[in-house]
Chain A
Amino acid sequence: MKRNVAIIGGGQTYHAARRHDVNQVELVNEAVRASLSDADISLDEIDAILLGNMEFFEGTHLTDCWLVDGSGAYGKPGLKITTGGTVGATIVGAGVHHVASGLFDKVLCIGFEKQEEGDTGAILSAVAHPLYGRSVAGAAVGYFAMMGTSYMATWGATEIHSAIVAVKARQNARKNKYAHLKLDITVEDVLNSRMLAYPIRMLDMCPASNGACAMVLADEKTARDRCKKPVWIRALETVHNEQFELDWRDVSTSKPLFSRIGAERIYKRLGVRNPADYFDVFEIYEPATWAELVWYEDLGLCERGGGYKLIERGITEINGDIPVNPSGGVLSTNCIGASAMLRVWEATLQIRGEAGGHQVPREPKRALTTAYGGTNWTVLTALAKDLKD
């Protein structure tokens, strides 16, 4: 990078299915205030504001304009960004690019979603092609269900494996005071929960959450002058798939998928040989249980088809060798426009040693985060405690 970029602060709202206590401006402002306070910086000092959410999820366009009072963007340069589920990570990436380029020194990044205000199924169906596939569109659950049947048929995993993922997420969420679904559940509870789309049951799927996340990014000089625990952004990768190609759900495919390409590139950039050793914690984007197992494999934490053995052996628990989603992940909290940013923010908290109840015990120094957009593209972000990493 041309200039080093650090996360010097951040914050999140509490996340819930109902947030009628706030409108969108107030929701965003809750995260903005938390992030400015955490960074110990005033809004006047912020050079630019980047904001994003899922396109039209609240039934309103131009959210950057609507939410100016709460975002703090009045009189400041900024952008609205909307890239699907990846948006929170894309906003961070855009913030990094603006700071690294030297254009700005301090950028405020905001991701939010108030899912209760919109009909997400109806809006997602408009993402599908009107003449080619729209009639079967409208619910992310169906896509992940197909990933699940393919995964079981290809690798011999069972619904018990996905249920273990569901339990891990919600038990971790119980340790995270901001998480939405804090459920004291067992594998049996998951297997007894209502079937939504075989093999995905209610507890295999993320909730529809309302919430926001905000982060302050800064150049190296500002970070060193102003922040006791800057967390450095070491590398970013964005990779898209082709339009119409749904190949990712056939987990047996040999095609180099966007998620695998992204991992390969970011590892090459950082000189990573063994990602499971190199990174101390992962925050990945898993709207459904099966996606977590596929991420293990796509990130090279195990061999192809080995993801379900990893969860079976407890290796990705908070206390395990490869902690994945100690926060409870997307399965526990999915305010979509904020979800990919929450991955980055939660990884930041882990590196700062400030994750609280869900802190990984072995003092993480390096973290990797992922995102899915439409399950057809990804953004990966690598963070580190020290610049030499």
Chain B
Amino acid sequence: MNHDQELISIPCTVDIPYRFAAGKYLSRFLLELRDRGKFFGIRCPVCRRVQLPPRIVCAVCHTRNTEWVELGNEGSLMAFTIMYLPLTDPTTGKPHDPPFCYGSVKLDGSDSLLDYFLNIEPDISRVKVGMRMRAVLRPRDQRRGDLSDIKYFEPIE
């Protein structure tokens, strides 16, 4: 075989429509967020952890979760990054505008971390693990019933 021969490779795209069902627990969480602007977690009756998002079963105890717990919109930043890559937002197909901050926030009263965008200048002197953060929601008429109803988390001055 001639080792200098052209090697063929072709670009392909897969575009797969599908419909995703949230189920009643996540639906209720998202409806509370969309319609009332409130965060709810769910408490395991055995280990007492408040899990976010709410789910039918505590994976650790394998017990049905029943106790809905209203959380505030404030929490602490547990980890963060300043992203310099122009990542595509998979939900819109459009690239984010780097650099931008996102991080893991632990809402007060919750035992889970929530990853989301941070409205902080992408400067390492401005963002710190342990910072107090507040969720800012989109205006009611722009909320859609998914996590993007949160506009971003911003530092509590």
A residues with CB within 8 A of B: 20-21, 59, 117, 121-122, 125-126, 128, 130-139, 141-142, 145-150, 152-154, 194-200, 242-247, 249-250
List 9 additional A-B contacts (Cβ < 8 Å) besides A135-B148, A154-B129.
A130-B91, A135-B90, A136-B115, A146-B79, A149-B81, A150-B129, A244-B51, A246-B104, A246-B113
A137 touches B84 (CB 8 A): no
CB contact under 8 A between A122 and B30, given known A131-B147, A135-B148, A197-B83: no
Contact of B128 among A126, A132, A153 (CB under 8 A): A153
B84 touches A196 (CB 8 A): yes
Q: Please indicate which of the listed interface residues B51, B117, B147, B148 has the most CB atoms of chain A within 10 Å of its own CB.
A: B147
B147 touches A135 (CB 8 A): yes
Residue of B nearest to A201 (CB): B84
B113 touches A250 (CB 8 A): yes
Pairs A–B under 8 Å by Cβ, sample size 7: A21-B7, A135-B90, A146-B103, A149-B81, A243-B55, A246-B113, A250-B113
CB contact under 8 A between A197 and B7, given known A131-B30, A250-B104: no
> Is B80 part of the binding interface, using a Cβ–Cβ cutoff of 8 Å?
yes
B87 touches A139 (CB 8 A): yes
> How far, in Å, is B89 (CB) from chain A's closest CB?
5
> Is B130 part of the binding interface, using a Cβ–Cβ cutoff of 8 Å?
yes
B residues with CB within 8 A of A: 7, 9, 12, 14, 20, 22, 26, 30, 51-53, 55, 59-60, 78-85, 87-92, 102-104, 106, 112-113, 115-117, 124, 128-130, 145-148
SS of B interface (majority): loop
Contact of B79 among A122, A150, A196, A245 (CB under 8 A): A150
Contact of B78 among A128, A132, A250 (CB under 8 A): A250
Chain B residues with CB under 8 A of A152: 129
Residue of A nearest to B30 (CB): A131
Chain B residues with CB under 8 A of A243: 55, 59
CB contact under 8 A between A137 and B60, given known A131-B147, A146-B79: no
Q: Please indicate which of the listed interface residues A146, A148, A243, A247 has the most CB atoms of chain B within 10 Å of its own CB.
A: A146
Chain A residues with CB under 8 A of B82: 195, 197-198
Chain A residues with CB under 8 A of B129: 149-150, 152-154
Contact of B55 among A117, A135, A153, A244 (CB under 8 A): A244
> How far, in Å, is A59 (CB) from chain B's closest CB?
6
Chain B residues with CB under 8 A of A195: 82, 84
A139 CA to B14 CA, complexed, in Å: 19
> How far, in Å, is A254 (CB) from chain B's closest CB?
11
B9 touches A20 (CB 8 A): yes
